[in-house]
Structure 1
Amino acid sequence: MTAMTTSPAPRIRIEVRDAVGTVEISNPARHNALSVAMMTELAAALRALSEDSDVRVVVLRGAGERAFVSGADISEFPSRQDDAARQAADDAATTLFTQLSALPVPVIARIHGYCLGAGMALALGADLRYADTRSVLAIPAARLGVGYPLEQTAALVQTVGPAAASDLLFTGRRIAAVEAYAMGLVDRVVEPAELGKIVDDVAETIAANAPLSVRAAKASIRAVRRLSEGDAAAGSAALGLATEAVARCRTSHDLREGALAFLEKRPAHFTGR
């Protein structure tokens, strides 16, 4: 069964198929650069998927062959000199990345071509990052006079460490997928023709597992990260949510189904209850 919805503007597209929610970012004339309006639409798309109980995993991808997301739409930068416009842009970005971080299900970034600036921020907000060999990654904030947001800088440091984060942020240089893999920025690098199938296979594997268990695992990983950041309030809140998520698994129908399926030597049919 397939459900298909499209945001009011066709630049952010959502497809839900077999418990996998795919979000496609489409602005091919600008290599899928994110305008302020697109950030707002993307946040709404992610919110809709987070509220859809049928969705067990989300895949982020860029339309076309040339880019995942090439950054924020630089053509809008001059207009942001106005205080109101700048505030609107900041609010849209904050809402987007807050919504991305709040997704209770795993997020996979399917990276091809350019993954720059805001594209890197989206990728860093994902739980898994798979790239093809032609991918080019960078955070060119220093070349544009932009202050890279603190939350995304923290995610970068947690992912690659302070030295590699310093390299990327100070120089703004572009790196190939192989170097990104070596520094831990992406989790796997494959040939372009293989990327779609590999991401689909991983998404399908996650979607076939017990949803409550997967959500509990994500909540626990998030709690560990929050605690490591030294924010006592955020860490405590995340720990409470993770504890509740793990406890819910203990009394779930899926726990009984998983045990029975193992004993009967058959695939389990999980319902998220």
Structure 2
Amino acid sequence: MANQNILSEIRDNVLYVTINREHKLNALNKDTLTELAEAIELAANNDEVRGVLLTGAGEKAFVAGADISEFSNYSIEEGEELARAGHKNVFDAIESCPKPVIAAINGFALGGGLELAMACHIRIASDNAKLGLPEVSLGLIPGYGGTQRLTQLVGKGKAIEMITTADMITAAQAEKIGLVNYTVPQAELIAKAEEILNKIKLRAPLAVASAIKSINASLQYDVDGFETEIKEFGKCFDTLDFKEGTTAFLEKRKPVFIGK
């Protein structure tokens, strides 16, 4: 069945995913999260896909938050399950995706929208973007990893300030504190994301996946990141891409990687 809430297509080995609820400022409802989960699973398992570019429809919003109308009457148990399912199926799945996922943040990235962007591996913001986690103004806290990923990205003090004040910050401020990698004019947003992906596409896909896995391990309390790196480093030696990369280096030519 065709997606109703996102647009997705593969072009030049990149899976373009656009959250397509512009009339709702691309707010995340259950169906949208389900479709996002399917898109990320496709990216992870499709050899044609070398990277993902995730954005929102229109110029006003990347994702302005979660669709509050869906959970305003939830119980404790329902609230926990909402967060747990979102973590597993979407946000953690994006972070663990072996293909790099770049968020192109056009306009508002608030609440679940900023959490979605933070789950991505790289973030680029248009200069009109506004970012924040306003959940405490609704009597909630971020439930899709926001308290954890924001702290990892900007540090404890700034994370507590942003979350407890519920204030929005500008794209320029977000870049200054390390929340986004780059701030660019809106007209250049997608091109900047494509520029980075085009560089990554020239590298060995299995090595890129190993790098993502090892970097993620550095932030997992129950995993030895150094041991993960050692094992992933060793695995690279059993790939055709390693043979190609070293041979090309010695022959002073550009490598051609096949992801095997």
- AA paired with 2:237? R
Residue 272 of structure 1 is matched in structure 2 by 259
Residue 3 of structure 1 is matched in structure 2 by none
Aligned partners of 1:9, 1:251: CA distance in 2, in Å?
A: 39
Aligned partners of 1:83, 1:143: CA distance in 2, in Å?
A: 18
The CA deviation at 1:252 is 1.8
Residue 235 of structure 1 is matched in structure 2 by 223
- Percent sequence identity is 35
The answer (yes or no) to whether the contact 1:12–1:26 under 8 Å persists in 2 is yes
Distance 1:208 1:48, change over 3 A: same
Residue 158 of structure 2 is matched in structure 1 by 164
The answer (yes or no) to whether the contact 1:212–1:248 under 8 Å persists in 2 is no
Residue 18 of structure 2 is matched in structure 1 by 24
Aligned partners of 1:249, 1:243: CA distance in 2, in Å?
A: 10
Matches within 5 A, 1:2-151: 8-78=2-72, 80-81=73-74, 86=79, 89-94=82-87, 95-149=89-143, 151=145
Distance 1:55 1:245, change over 3 A: farther
SS for the counterpart of 2:82 is helix
Residue 235 of structure 2 is matched in structure 1 by 248
The CA deviation at 1:211 is 0.6
TM score, norm. by length of structure 1:
0.87
The CA deviation at 1:242 is 4.1
- AA paired with 1:89? L
Deviations 1:118-152 (A, max 9, x none): 01111111111111100010100011111223733
Structure 2: gaps (5+ residues)? none
The answer (yes or no) to whether the contact 2:7–2:19 under 8 Å persists in 1 is yes
Give the one of 193, 196, 212 matched to 2:190. 196
The CA deviation at 1:261 is 2.6
The CA deviation at 1:240 is 5.5
After TM superposition, the structure 1 stretch with the greater mean CA deviation from structure 2, 90-99 or 100-109, is 90-99
Is the aligned partner of 1:222 residue 2:207? Answer: no
Aligned partners of 2:78, 2:216: CA distance in 1, in Å?
A: 33
Give the root-mean-square deviation of aligned CA atoms.
Answer: 2.1
- AA paired with 2:236? C
Deviations 1:71-121 (A, max 9, x none): 10123243x436786466335423222322221121111111010000111
After TM superposition, the structure 1 stretch with the greater mean CA deviation from structure 2, 128-137 or 255-264, is 255-264
Give the one of 229, 244, 249 matched to 1:257. 244
Aligned partners of 1:148, 1:140: CA distance in 2, in Å?
A: 8
The CA deviation at 1:14 is 2.0
TM score, norm. by length of structure 2:
0.91
Aligned partners of 1:99, 1:93: CA distance in 2, in Å?
A: 9
SS for the counterpart of 2:198 is helix
After TM superposition, the structure 1 stretch with the greater mean CA deviation from structure 2, 146-155 or 135-144, is 146-155
